[in-house]
Amino acid sequence: MKAKEGVLDYLNKILTCELTAIHQYFLHAELCEHWGFERLEHAVRSRSIGEMRHAEALIKHILYLEGLPDMQRLEAVHVGKTVPEQLTLDLAVEVEDIALLRAAIAHCATVGDFTTRHLLEHMLKDSEEHIDWIETQLETIKQVGAEKYLSEQIHKESQEA
Amino acid sequence: MKAKEGVIDLLNKVLTSDLTAINQYFVHAKMCENWGYERLHHHVRDRSIDEMKDADELIGHILYLEGVPNVQRLGTVHVGETVPEQFKLDLKAEHEMLKMLSDGVAHCTKVGDFTTRHMLEDMAKDVDEHIDWIETQMETIKQVGLENYLSEQIKKEGS
């Protein structure tokens, strides 16, 4: 099916954001693992895998609309050297992502592409959940302090099994 | 643990290749799905996920060696417009990877980093298997013809 005007451009832009986010979250997850924060590692890794699923859905939809998915472009990957820094940088990515998704959803409504709009609305919901999770972590750090927060991120084998 | 000379560089180069391969194979898989070649789609998608696992391991190992994993760099993603073209491009990517891994193994031997060498050898084995699979497909196409080959890639429900 042929795409409506401007839709493929939006989809490729969102794809670039997702591909960048995958790399950033993945590296953050690995860093958390390296530091021994296994609980955090799992949370951040599933966020990265969530973005992979989004990328997959986007590529599929771009092909369905007879477009070419742009797999070559990558924006700046911002790597945090501490956990709070990572959370702040990831939050910035999600906020940017949401702004782009909202603009794309509005555009789809204008040109009357409701299936693409529906797909993007699902992604928007996931992004909002990510933001909620990150904000919760940042707030907890503010309330209990980074040290106490981090000590809770060390996986205890007997508990998680 | 501190890395031996040149090892981090080498690992980051392999990582870039892996990250590029992930994207290339993934888009090829999705194109196969779009064309209705479900069997092929699953194969190629699995290959992409294998590369993700390799990237995972590489990043972990670079951090262990107190290096900085470079996830910003991406090589050129070559997209094939037909199935045989995809095979050709993927084969080329795998051969380049194999060359890089072999050089890496040789370098690790020289500087005496045997854990990194062991990891790279495991990856080289996977690459060998990928190459073998792609070559088999290309040979089959040669023997039965493209149309017959492709018609076998359409998954029949119930089968």
Q: Is residue A85 part of a domain?
A: yes
Place of tokens 């795998």: B94
Q: Which residue, among B30, B7, B6, has the nearest Cα to B115 in the 3D structure?
A: B7
Which among A34, A59, A77 has CB closest to B64? A34
Residue A123 domain flag: yes
Residue B90: what pLDDT? 97
Q: Do A72 and B74 touch (CB under 8 A)?
A: yes
Residues in Cβ contact with A161 at an 8 Å cutoff, skipping those fewer than 6 apart = none
In sequence order, what are the residues at sequence separation of 6 or more whose Cβ sits closer than 8 angstroms to the Cβ of residue B78?
A: B24, B89, B92, B93
pLDDT in tens, B66-99: 999 999 999 999 999 999 999 999 999 999 999 9
Does A1 reside within a domain?
Answer: no
- Tell me the per-residue pLDDT of A18-64, one tens digit each, with 9 for 90 and over: 999 999 999 999 999 999 999 999 999 999 999 999 999 999 999 99
Residue among B98, B84, B83 at smallest CA distance from B130: B98
Number of domains in chain A: 1
Q: Identify the burial level of B148 via C-beta atoms within 10 angstroms of its C-beta, where 0-12 means exposed, 13-18 middle and 19 or more buried.
A: exposed
CATH number of the CATH domain containing A90: 1.20.1260.10
Instruction: Indicate the length of chain A as a whole number.
Output: 161
Kindly list the structural domains of chain B, giving each domain's residue range(s) and its CATH number in brackets, ordered by start.
7-151 (1.20.1260.10)
**Would A160 be classed as within a structural domain?**
no
Q: At what angle do helices A114-144 and A7-35 cross, to 10 degrees?
A: 30
Distance (Å, whole) CA A131 – CA A137 = 10
Q: What is the mean pLDDT of residues A89-108?
A: 97
Query: Chain B residues with CB-CB distance to A under 8 A?
Result: 19, 23-24, 26-27, 30-31, 33-34, 52, 55-56, 59-60, 63-64, 68-69, 71-72, 74, 76-77, 79
- Are B121 and B105 contacting, i.e. CB atoms less than 8 angstroms apart? yes
pLDDT score, position B113? 96
Q: Do A121 and A105 meet the contact criterion of CB atoms below 8 Å apart?
A: yes
